[in-house]
Amino acid sequence: MSIVRQHDKPDTFITFTCNPEWPKIKSACHRPDLSCRVFQLKYTALMDDILKKEILGTVKAHTANTEFQKRGLPHAHILLIMDREHEPITPAIIDEIVSSEIPDRNKNPLLYQ
What's the number of domains the chain is made of?
Answer: 1
- Asked whether the beta carbons of 12 and 80 are under 8 A apart, the reply is yes
What is the per-residue pLDDT across 30-80, written as a single tens digit (0 to 9) for each? 778 888 898 999 999 999 999 999 988 899 999 999 999 877 789 999 999
pLDDT of residue 76: 95
Domain that holds residue 31: 2-112
* Mean pLDDT computed over every residue of the chain: 84
Please tell me the total number of residues recorded for the chain in this structure: 113
The CA-based diameter of the chain, rounded to the nearest angstrom, is 49
Distance, in Å, from the CA atom of 37 to the CA atom of 47, rounded to the nearest integer, reads: 15
CA–CA distance, 94 with 98 (Å, rounded to integer):
6
